[in-house]
Amino acid sequence: MAAELLEFGYLFVVLAVTGAIALRLGLSVIPLYVVGGVVVGPYVAGRFGLPYVADSEVVTLLAELGIVLLLFFLGLEFSLDRLRAARSNIGRAGAIDLLVNLPLGVVIGLALGWSVVEAFLLGGIVYISSSAIVTKTLIDLGWIADPESEPILGTLVFEDLAIAVYLAAVTSLVLGGEGGLVAIGRSLAIAFGFLGLLLVLVQYGTSLFTRVLDVENQEAFVLRALAVVVPVAGAALALGVSEAVAAFFVGMGFSTSGHRETIERRLTSVRDVFAAIFFFWIGLGTDPTLLAAVVVPLVIAVVLTAPAKVVSGYLGGRVYDLSTHRSLRVGVGLVPRGEFSLVIAALAASGSTQVMREVIPAFAVGYVLVMSALGTVLMQRSDLVERLVFRGGSAKTES
Amino acid sequence: MTVYESDLPGVGKKHEIELGDGARLVIVTHNTGKREVFRRESADSDSEKLFELDDELARQVGTLLEGAYFQPVQSTDIETLLGDNTLLEWVEVGADSDVAGKTLGASDLRQATGASVIAIERGDEVITSPGGDAMIEAGDTLVVIGPRAACRDFVALVTGA
C-alpha cells in the first residue's frame, strides 16, 4: 500500500510541477500534463532505471473518471435550445467544419493503408478542436470581445454534439468490431437504443434531475451528482456503449435542472483533478520510440489538417458575415486540438488491431502536442498569418 | 442606446453598447462572475481591454455607475426607483425643519404631499411602520415612498427648500 500511495504522491507532484510550468509559460496545461506522464512513465523514467509511475489499473480507472467528467461538463454546457436558437449560423459553420475535416482525416487514414474503422478514428482525432485550449486562448488574447469569438464558440458547440454521435458510433465499431457485420449491427443497435432511452429520460426527466440535487449540503450535492453520472457511465460501458456519451447526456439532463451553475462551481475542481490524471495517463502509455515510428503520418496530418481547419473556419466566419480578416482568425482560432482527440485515442487503445492499440494512440499524442502548440502560437501571431495569407491575394483582401 | 447581447457558450455572455461615435463598449461576463470590459474603436478594429473586475467588485462599481450613492444632476438625496414612477427616498430632518418636534400625525405630511413615511432612522435605531403618534426629531432620517412628484413635495416641505 505504501508503495502505491508514494507513487500517487509522485504523480501529483509531477502534475503540480508541469501545471506550474504551463502557467508560467502561458501555455495550456493539457500538453504539459501529457509530457509529464511520458517523462515519469515506464517508457522513459522506467527505461533509465529511475523511479517511475506504472500504468496501473488504479491510474487507468481514475483516468476513466476523468473522461466521464470531461464529457459530463461538456453536456452541462451544451444546450439544445442554444443550438436551435442559432440554428442556421452554427449549423452551417459547423457542417462546413465537419464536412471538410472529418473526411480529410479518413482519407489520410485510408491512404496510409489503414482499415475503415482505423481511418474513421483518425478522422475524429483530426476533426475535433480543443474546447479547453481554444476557449482559454480566446480569453487570454482578448478575442473573446470581438465578433470572431461567436463563430469559433458556435463551431465548438456543433463539434460537441457531433463528437457525441461520433463516439457513440465508433465505440460500437471498436469494441464490437470483430464479429463481422451482424455483431457490429447489434452493438450499434444496443448503443443507440441505450443512448436513445437516456436521451428520452434527459428530455423529460428535468424534475427528477432537479429533485436529486435539491440539497443544501455541499458534500451531499457533490456526491449525489457523482452518484448519478458515474453509475450511468459504468452501465453504458458494461453494455459496450460509450461511457463518455452517456456522461454527456447525463450532463445535458442536469443542464436544464436549474443546478447547472452550482454543479459547475462545486464539481469543477473534481473534474480538473481527474482530467489531469487522464492526460497524465495518456502520457504514461506513450512510448516515445513509437512516436518516432509515426513521424510520417504525423507530418502528413499536420501539414494537411492545420490548413484545412483554417480554411473551414474561414468559410464558417464568412457564414457569420464577418470580414475576410476576422474570418481568417476564426480559422486560426480552431486549429488547436486537445482533450477530445485524446479521448478518441484512449478509445482506439482498447481496440483489437495493432494500429488501434499502438499506432493511433502514439499518433494522437504527437498530433495533440504539435497542434496544441502550433494552434496557440498561430493565434498569438495571427497578425503574421494575416499578412502572409493576404499579401498576394488582392481579390481576397476585399471584404 | 442599443445594447447587443450574445451568448458565449462555455464562457458566459457578451454585451456590446454603442457609444455614439462608432465605438462600442464590450462587457464580457464570465460564468465565474468575472467581468471584462473592452472598448472597440470601430467595427474593424480589435477590442482593447480596459479592465476586469471580480463579481463583487463589479456589482459595487455598477451601483456607483448607476448613481445610487451620488447623483450630481438630479438631486443630492438617496433615492431608488421602484417601477416607473415610484421612488423610495431618504430625507434628513434638519434642526430648522418645520416638522422637527411634531408627531407624524400632527405634521400632516401624507395629506399634504401624498408620500408616506415607512420608517424613521434615528442614529442606530430604526422605527418601522411608524404610527401617527411617532415623534419626528431633528437629525432623523425619514424613509419615504411615493410617486416622484409627491416625493419632491415631501423633500421641499421637510427641508424647507
Residue A395: the pLDDT is: 46
- What is the predicted pLDDT for the residue at A394? 46
- In eight-state DSSP terms, residue A355 is I
- Check residue B9 and give its pLDDT: 81
The answer to whether the Cβ–Cβ distance between A138 and B11 falls below 8 Å is yes
* Grid cell digits, residue A292: 518516432
Interface touch B11/A142, C-beta < 8 Å: no
Q: What pLDDT is attached to residue A178?
A: 60
* Angle subtended at Cα A362 by Cα A358 and Cα A364, rounded to the nearest 5 degrees: 120
Inter-residue contact B37 to B16 (CB < 8 Å): no
Residues of chain A with pLDDT under 50: 394-399
Q: How many pairs of residues across A and B have Cβ atoms under 8 Å apart?
A: 52
Predicted confidence at residue A397, as pLDDT, reads: 42
C-alpha distances in angstroms, B45 versus A4, A179, A394, B37, B76?
Answer: 55, 58, 20, 16, 40
Rg (alpha carbons) of chain B, rounded to whole number? 22
Name which of A77, A89, A129, A149 to mutate to probe chain B: the one with the most chain B Cβ atoms within 10 A of its Cβ. A149
Q: Can you read off the three cell numbers belonging to residue A384?
A: 503574421
The residue to which cell 474561414 is assigned: A314
Closest listed residue to residue A75, CA positions, set A264, A231, A239: A264
What does the alpha-carbon distance between residue B134 and residue B148 come to, in Å, rounded to a whole number?
24
Per-residue cell: A154: 458556435
The structure's pTM equals 0.77
Give the mean pLDDT of chain B.
Answer: 85
A87 CB-near residues (< 8 Å, 6+ apart)? none
Is-contact A285 A55, C-beta < 8 A? yes
- Minimal CA separation from A285 to chain B, in Å: 30
**And the C-alpha cell for A239?**
453494455
Q: Are strands B86-92 and B125-128 parallel, antiparallel or unpaired?
A: unpaired
Cβ atoms of A168 and A161 within 8 Å: the answer is no
DSSP string, B55-107: HHHHHHHHHHHHTSS-BTTTBSS-EEEETTTEEEEEEE--TT-TTTTSBHHHH
Portion 254-313 of A in contact with B at CB < 8 A = 261, 264
Question: In chain B, how long is the greatest CA-to-CA distance?
Answer: 67
**What is the tens place of the pLDDT at every residue in B6-54?**
888 878 889 999 988 889 999 999 988 899 999 999 888 889 999 999 9
Query: For residues B130 and B119, what is the distance between their CA atoms, to the nearest angstrom?
Result: 6
| Chain A CB within 8 Å of residue B85 CB | no
ipTM given for this complex: 0.76
What string of DSSP letters covers A250-310? HHHHHHTTT-HHHHHHHHHHHHHHHHHHHHHHHHHT--HHHHHHTHHHHHHHHHHHHHHHH
Side by side, the strands of the sheet bearing B24-30 are B3-8, B12-18, B24-30, B35-40, B48-53
Nearest to A245 by CA among A255, A233, A257, A227: A233
Measured CA to CA, the distance from residue B161 to residue B158 in angstroms comes to 8
User: pLDDT by residue (tens digit) across A148-158?
Assistant: 998 999 899 88
The more confidently predicted of residues B1 and B157 is: B157
pLDDT above 70: residue B79: no
Chain A (65-104) residues lying within 8 Å, Cβ to Cβ, of chain B: 77-79, 82, 86
Nearest to A77 among B10, B26, B30 (CB): B10
Quote the pLDDT of residue A275: 93
Contact B23, B41 (CB under 8 A): yes
A61-389 architecture in CATH? Answer: Up-down Bundle (1.20)
Q: Which residue is listed with cell 474503422?
A: A117
